[in-house]
Each structure stands twice: as structure tokens, then as C-alpha cells.
Structure 1
Amino acid sequence: MTHQDDIENKLVAARTWLIIDKPFLGALVLRLPLVEADPKWCHTTATDARSFYYNRDYIKALSFEQTKFILAHEALHCALSHFARREHRHKRRWDLACDFAVNPLLMADGLTPAPDALILDAYKDMTAEEIYPCIQENADEEPMDQHLYDQDDRPHGSGDRDDGEGGRGEEQTDDNGGSHGEPDAQAGGAPQPPPLSTPERDSLDKQWQQRLASAAQQAMQAGKLGGSMARMVDHLLQPQLPWRMLLAHYMTRASRNDYSFAHPSRREGTAILPGLRSQHIDLLVVLDTSGSISDDEMQEFLSEVNAIKGQVGARITLHSCDEKLAAEGPWIFDPWEDVKLPGKLPGGGGTRFTPVFEWAEWQDRAPDLLVYFTDARGEFPKIEPSYPVLWLVKGKEKVPWGQRIQLN
């Protein structure tokens, strides 16, 4: 058996182990054909969202456990569509952010990190977009691998090659993202592939989204998808409709009926009788002031509420809450008044949602709709109220009931 066979067998064995023991990651790794690269350009490993490129000396130096990690690392970059999400961002900082996002997920799933893997506890459960602003422009860290899908600092869509010189020409790809035929034969391995064109990037983005969903479904059926990985997958597979559109949809729907069957307050007893709805709808808007949502984000949210409420004739009751309700609230705005953020909102403590719902129960009338702007990390009431609740969520946390809208 040759030295080259030993390296390839090591990679295949690590991939097989992932397929059996980590079916989610294994299914993704299986989509990347293994390609030995020319060591002149590939010092560790690399991916172009089509293949897994490796330096055989680097793989030889890894333990078997570390080999599993590096295979899963490249596959997760592709499954998370890091190659399609950079947009205007600086490439090197984006590459660092992507590594910082991927590695904690793999460690939480029980894999052993490869040497020089970028890991920082502060970035746990954060997306690459959330991590990127935290990375300094002159950061001295380096990604442990090479991200070949876009190799310059031009924004996506600018300067993409055509099918002329330097492009892929008529080369076709199979369903696994691999090339039909072998790469150009060279003594040192495959040459460095060119970056993706816009059509290639868009096509691969759709393919990897489908692969992510399929791999997650298989792993869940096997009972082998949990923890941080499950939260990440759930976050990515949610419908990505603009939150403004969804907010308008629910506010409009709340105003459609002429009669309201909203549960009365405790003062009025327990009978639920139809009541003629007034000229306006009563909308209760709550801001989570525990510290994870900035004033600018709150103001953007309230601006959107203002834009919609005039169309549906909404009377807004604004409240804020961290672990307890703001003593200064609530603030009430009639349909013709602009909803404004109070001068200084108290907050910064823990998060409990229960006080808001307890307060609402003791009002003369239940709201037609409650909209809660939050990161969804806190104590929820055990019983769902009778009126509709819309959670506008920043982050990946789930909610036990009500309608969840992801703040994109």
C-alpha cells in the first residue's frame, strides 16, 4: 500500500465514521469529493463548495479524531452557505468569522479540533454575521483552511468571470457538486480552482440548502441531532420572509373581524361572548429591555409598527420589561399618534415574560394582538393566553407557543 493510499484510506475511514455516528455531518461530508491538492497552494485543507481539497502531509500529521473534525469543518462551511453570505464584507475578516462560527458547533457535537482551529467561547451560538463586527481589521488570527469560493475582496457579483479564459467553460457538475472527469493531472496534485461565478454560487447555495434540510431530517429520524447543532439547523431552515411583511400580515388579520371573541379580563368573569369590535384594534407592543436588543433596533421596529398601524387603525399600548415591568409604563398611543421610544427605558436585568401576561389579564379588555420584541431567552408563562401573540425574535431561541417571526 502506497503512502498516498494510506492518506486516502484515512480520510475515507473518517468520513465513514461520521456517516455512522454523526449522520447529519456525515451526509454533508459525503457531498464533497476528496481531491488531493497541489501543496504549492494548499497548505492544509480547502473547499470551493464543490470538493474537499487536502494537503496529504497535513492530513498525515492529524490524528484520526482531528481528521473527522476537518472534514466536518469544510462541509459545514458549505452547508451554512458561507460562500454565498459574504456580500460587502472584507474577505479575510469574513473567513475568520466563519471559522469562529463553525468550530464551536463541531466541538459541542463531540469532535476534537484540529491544530490552529479558531475557537473563542464568546462566539458560541453566534452566526458569522454576528461575529464579523467583533473582529478587528488588523486581527492577527488566520483561518486554518482556505475558502476558495471567492478569493478577492470584491463584493459578490462584481468582477465575476465569464466562460472565457480563466473560467470553467463547459465543465458540468454532478448532483454531489463534483466535476465530471478528473482534475488536470499534475505531479503535485490538483491545481487551485478559480472562484465561483454568480450563477455557480447561486446554484450551489440552493443545492446546499436542500442538502442541509435532507441531512437534518435523516439525523432527526435517527435521534442523532441535538444541542447547538439542532438550534442552528432550526434557525437556518425557518422561512426567511421579511419580518416587516409578516408583521403587517398579522396586524391586518387582527383587524379584519367585525366581532371579537377575545377573552375578557378577570374583572368581567369567565364567560366568552362575542362583542362588537370598536373602530380601532388594540395592539399591545412589548420591548424586551434585558440588554440584547439595542435602542436603534427597537426604534426600527417601532417605525415599522407606525407605518402599519395607520392602515389598520391600531391603538398602541407600549410596555417594556426585563425581569419586571417598567414602572414608567405603559405608554398609550392613539391611531393618529406616532409611537415613540420613551426617553430612557429601564432594563439590563434578567428576562421574564410572565409579568407582561399577568398585567394584560387584569386590564379591562384583552388585546387583539400582542407583539413581543425579544431574544426569547427567558421565563415563559406556562399557559398560552386566549389572544394571539406574535414573537419577533432576534437570535435562534424557540418559543413554546404563539407565532414566531425571525428578525432577519
Structure 2
Amino acid sequence: MASQQKLQKARARLMMEAPYFGEIASGLRLAADEDLPTFRSEREALRYNPSWLAECSVAQIETVLAAAAMHRVLGHEERGVRRHDRLWQLATDYAVNAMLRANGFDLPELMRYDPRFQGMYAEEIYAELRQSMTIQESQEEGSEAPPPPQREDEHGREDRRHTQKGSGKSPSPEVSEMQEAAEELERARLERIFEKMRRREELPEGLERLVPRYFARRIDWREELRRYLGGLYKSAYRFSPPSLKHLYRGYALPSLHSEALEIVIAVDSSGSVDEEMLGDFFAEVESLMEQFDDYRIELLVADMKVRSHRSYGPGEILERKIEGGGATDFRPVFEWIERELLRPTLLLYFTDAAGSFPAEAPPYEVIWVLSREAEVPFGERIVLCRE
């Protein structure tokens, strides 16, 4: 009972004091296990020894919950397949615990911490631990001393190779589909929490370096772009022109008017964009033109200045006219739009993001379709993933 009361109190405090960790921990399944010496993180579950937990302070239990949450976020169990189990567990513990320490959590003695691993991925830490182990084995080669005994880590796991547990039989298609659906829902939940806390500027210190490799920056970018543009290409009720159907009754109703997709697309033709990347950019522009029945696209090709401009409507063939090769400066595109166009609905900019940005965000939406992971000062970003 004491452990349950402490768990509930620790969860509530974690939600108030560290909401990112708290929201993720609220989705963890808690399971008591008297066979464990302390606790263990297993995918969506936190298994713990209730007797040990009853001896912990509420602050220490907060740390345990936050650690389990981060192991879940970073998918450490899935990423550890075919790795030396004890070394991988040590590496993941060092990665998580260093981040918790940087965010002010009080680490109990059982939780390993080494400041030299601050801000490092588990894979990076694992490589260092493997190298250290190899050097040690090399130094001990030829010695008749017995090998070191099997040891348990802070979670009570014995040294072994990490393997997938199971009966060896493949799950049925129905079970596999259910598992995939559940995992997809969980990924979506974690992504929503991440984005919500990012907007509130409440992400933990050091998290943004670790998380983008595993979150929505690597989504199906085409589906995301289609979803976004589909929201612009919609039907809307308008009074001009009105529906004539009920004029004889003395009133006019708004008519259903189908809007065209009207956007500006800019393609980066600077020297840092190679021919393959330019080909990818233009191929995606063609794909967009094929998806919509009615559109108006203002296509700009630019490096440090706007090199060409052409308007496209339905049925027109995209001309792959490429001029440029100089330095990258995004400001001329925004200046051209301000000078030549009424305020557009959207600017879609295909680029590697290696250039000079405007000092301020424009009064319209911007989506950066990036050839690589990169930061942008404003607008949304979608990373183009080559298959």
C-alpha cells in the first residue's frame, strides 16, 4: 500500500514539475514484481519491487518514472536487438540518467551517472563501452586469471546477449496487424506530447538533440504534405456568385464554389544542391501538379537571387529550367513575393536550408521541404527522405 501511495504522489508531482516526463509516465503500465531487486523498464511497462519502492523517497520515485518514460521515448529496447545486453543496458542508462541529471532530477545511488556521457546517444556510449571492453580484454590476453564473474546491472539484469524473447513462432497476421496498430498509436501519442511541449517551450534540457532521430521529422513526408495541401484545396461556401435555385422565393443562398490550389513554390538551385537533389525537387513538384485538378502555381528557381519565374495551371508541362549554382540566400524569394504578388496562401520552399534567412517571418505560411535535417527560423519543415 505504501508503494502505491508513493507512486501516485510521485506521478502527480512529476506531472506538475516536469510535464513532459509526467505525460509520458502517465501512459506507463505499472507492474509489481517481487523477483526484481529494484525496477526495470520494459517497453510500455515499469516493473518494480514494491518492498524496494516503499523504501524510496517520492523524489526518487519521480526519477524512476522519468527514467522509464525516457527509455520508452527513445525506443531503447527495440534498438538493442543483437547488441551485448549488459553493455547496451549500461549505455542506455548512462544516456537517460545524464539527461535527467541535467534537468535537476535527484539520482539515487543505484542509477549510474558519468558526466562524460552528457548529451550522447546510447549508440555512441555503447561504442565507447565496447572499445573500453576490447582494450581491457586485449590487455588481459594471455593471462591465466579467470574471466570476470557475471554481474547484474542496476536493474537486476544478468550479462547476456540481447535477443528477442518469444516461442520462436511467428505471430499470426492478425496479431501482427494489432501490434503494428498499437505501436503506431503509441508513436502518435508520443509525437503529440513532444509537439505540445515544444510549442509551450517546456521540453527538457538536452531532449531535442536526442529525440528528432526518432520522431515526426522522419514521417512519411509525402503524406504529410498531401494532408497539408489538401486543407488548402477545399470547397467553400461563397455569396459570389449566389445560388440561383431559390431566387424565386425571394432569397439567395451561398453557392458551393470549388477553390483552386494557389501556392508559390521555390526551388533552391544553389551550388550546395547537387543534380540528384534538384531532380528530386522537380519530381515532387510534378507529383503535386498531378494530384490536383485545379491549381495555380508560381514556380521560382533561385540561389542568391531569383533566376527564373513561371506560372503553371492545369495540364501544363513542367519545364525543368535550372539556373544558378551560386551561394544560397533565401531573402530574394521573399522580397520577390512581396513585390510581385498579393499575399499568397503558402510558400513551399525546396532546399537544403544552407543559406541566409529573412530576419522576420512573412505574413503567410511557409513550409520548408528539406533534403536533410536542419533548423529553420520560422515556418513548418518536412524532411524529404530518399528511399
Q: Using the alignment, how far apart are the partners of 1:122 and 1:337 within structure 2?
A: 46
Counterpart of 1:152? Answer: 163
- CA offset digits 1:296-320 (Å, max 9, x no partner): 6665344322333466685632224
Aligned to 1:111, the other structure's residue is in SS state coil
- CA offset digits 1:292-342 (Å, max 9, x no partner): x9986665344322333466685632224xxxx2x6x62567864554877
Q: Using the alignment, how far apart are the partners of 1:213 and 1:253 within structure 2?
A: 20
Q: Using the alignment, how far apart are the partners of 2:220 and 2:93 within structure 1?
A: 27
Are residue 303 (structure 1) and residue 283 (structure 2) matched?
yes
Q: Using the alignment, how far apart are the partners of 1:345 and 1:305 within structure 2?
A: 22
| Structure-to-structure mapping, 1:309-388, within 5 angstroms | 309=289, 314=297, 316-320=299-303, 325=304, 330=307, 336-337=317-318, 339=320, 346=327, 353-363=330-340, 369-373=346-350, 380-382=358-360, 384-385=362-363
Counterpart of 2:83? Answer: 92
Q: 1:32 aligns with which of 21, 29, 34?
A: 29
Aligned to 2:45, the other structure's residue is in SS state coil
Are residue 22 (structure 1) and residue 18 (structure 2) matched?
yes
Maintained 8 Å contact 1:302/1:341? no
> What displacement does 1:228 show?
4.9
Maintained 8 Å contact 1:285/1:372? yes
> What displacement does 1:285 show?
1.4
Maintained 8 Å contact 2:300/2:309? yes
Q: 2:65 aligns with which of 56, 62, 71?
A: 71
Counterpart of 2:42? Answer: 47
Maintained 8 Å contact 1:52/1:74? no
Query: How many equivalent pairs are there?
Result: 317
Q: Which amino acid aligns with 1:361?
A: E
Maintained 8 Å contact 2:221/2:383? yes
RMSD: 6.3
Q: Judging changes above 3 Å, is the alpha-carbon distance between structure 1 residues 105 and 152 closer, same or farther for their aligned structure 2 residues?
A: same
Q: 1:391 aligns with which of 353, 356, 368?
A: 368
Q: Using the alignment, how far apart are the partners of 1:58 and 1:36 within structure 2?
A: 11
> What displacement does 1:240 show?
9.0
Maintained 8 Å contact 2:38/2:53? yes
Q: 1:244 aligns with which of 214, 219, 222?
A: 222
Bigger fraction of residues in strand:
2
**TM-score using structure 1 length:** 0.49
Maintained 8 Å contact 2:353/2:375? yes
Q: Judging changes above 3 Å, is the alpha-carbon distance between structure 1 residues 24 and 120 closer, same or farther for their aligned structure 2 residues?
A: same
Give the % identical residues. Answer: 20
Maintained 8 Å contact 1:38/1:55? no
> What displacement does 1:75 show?
1.8
> What displacement does 1:245 show?
3.8
Maintained 8 Å contact 2:117/2:125? no
> What displacement does 1:72 show?
0.9
Counterpart of 1:187? Answer: none
- CA offset digits 1:123-176 (Å, max 9, x no partner): 5xxxx8xx8699869955899767xxx95369x9x95457xxxxxxxxxxxxxx
Aligned to 1:357, the other structure's residue is in SS state helix
Are residue 199 (structure 1) and residue 178 (structure 2) matched?
yes
Q: Using the alignment, how far apart are the partners of 1:296 and 1:134 within structure 2?
A: 35
Q: Which amino acid aligns with 1:317?
A: L
Q: Which amino acid aligns with 1:152?
A: T
Maintained 8 Å contact 1:375/1:397? no
Counterpart of 1:284? Answer: 265
Q: Using the alignment, how far apart are the partners of 1:216 and 1:396 within structure 2?
A: 17
Counterpart of 1:109? Answer: 103
Bigger fraction of residues in helix:
2
Maintained 8 Å contact 1:49/1:78? yes
Structure with bigger gyration radius: 2
> What displacement does 1:99 show?
6.3
Q: Judging changes above 3 Å, is the alpha-carbon distance between structure 1 residues 253 and 101 closer, same or farther for their aligned structure 2 residues?
A: same
- CA offset digits 1:344-379 (Å, max 9, x no partner): 5646xxxx7545312443458887852124688985
What 5-or-longer segments of structure 2 have no aligned partner? 134-152, 236-260
Maintained 8 Å contact 2:263/2:348? no
Q: Which has the higher contact order (CA 8 A, sep 6+)?
A: 1
Q: Using the alignment, how far apart are the partners of 1:339 and 1:117 within structure 2?
A: 54
Counterpart of 1:261? Answer: none
Q: Judging changes above 3 Å, is the alpha-carbon distance between structure 1 residues 243 and 63 closer, same or farther for their aligned structure 2 residues?
A: same
Maintained 8 Å contact 1:284/1:319? no
**TM-score using structure 2 length:** 0.51
Aligned to 1:92, the other structure's residue is in SS state coil
